[in-house]
Amino acid sequence: MSDTTPDVSLQLNHASVMTAALDDAVAFYVDLLGLTLRVIEDDPIREGRQRAMLTDEAGHDVLEIIEMRELAHPSVPGRGSIHHLGFELTTDAYTALRSRLDAAGHPYQETQGRLFVRDVDGLVLEIEHDGS
C-alpha cells in the first residue's frame, strides 16, 4: 500500500444487478422500493439484451438492472457476487416502505432499525432510516 493518497475523488456511480425477469425486477424496485424508472433500453454493452436504469429522487442513476434470461435455468448457481445493496431513507419513507411491503405481502425481516428484504432474484437489500 502506498504512503500517498491518490488525488482522485472516486464515487459510486450505480449498482448493477442481473435478473431473469426484467419486468418483475423493475416493478419491485419502482413499486415497492420507490425508485424511478428512467429508461428500459437495448443494453449498449451486451448485444441482444435489455436493461433498465433506475434513479433516486434526485434523478441520479443508482441501479442498472440487466436482463439475463438464462439465470432462470436451474443449472445456474447464482446471480453474481454482490452480497447486498444498502439504502437509506428518511423515517417517514422507511415507514411507508414497510407499509407497501406489508400491503403487497412481500416478506422482510426488521432487525435493529433495518429492513432486510429480497428482490425478485433473491438479492438482499438492507434498508435503514436516517432518524429524521
Q: pLDDT by residue (tens digit) across 14-60?
A: 888 888 889 999 999 999 999 999 999 998 878 899 999 999 999 99
Domains and CATH numbers, the chain: 15-70+82-129 (3.10.180.10)
Instruction: Read off the pLDDT of residues 46-98 as tens digits, 9 standing for 90 and up.
Output: 889 999 999 999 999 999 998 887 777 766 655 555 768 888 888 898 999 99
Is residue 66 classed as helix, strand or coil in its secondary structure?
strand
Of 12, 101, 99, the residue nearest 56 (C-alpha): 12
Q: 0.85 cut: is pTM over it? A: no
Residue 126 and residue 66: Cα distance in Å, rounded?
21
Report in angstroms the alpha-carbon separations of 77 from 36, 68, 72. Answer: 30, 14, 10
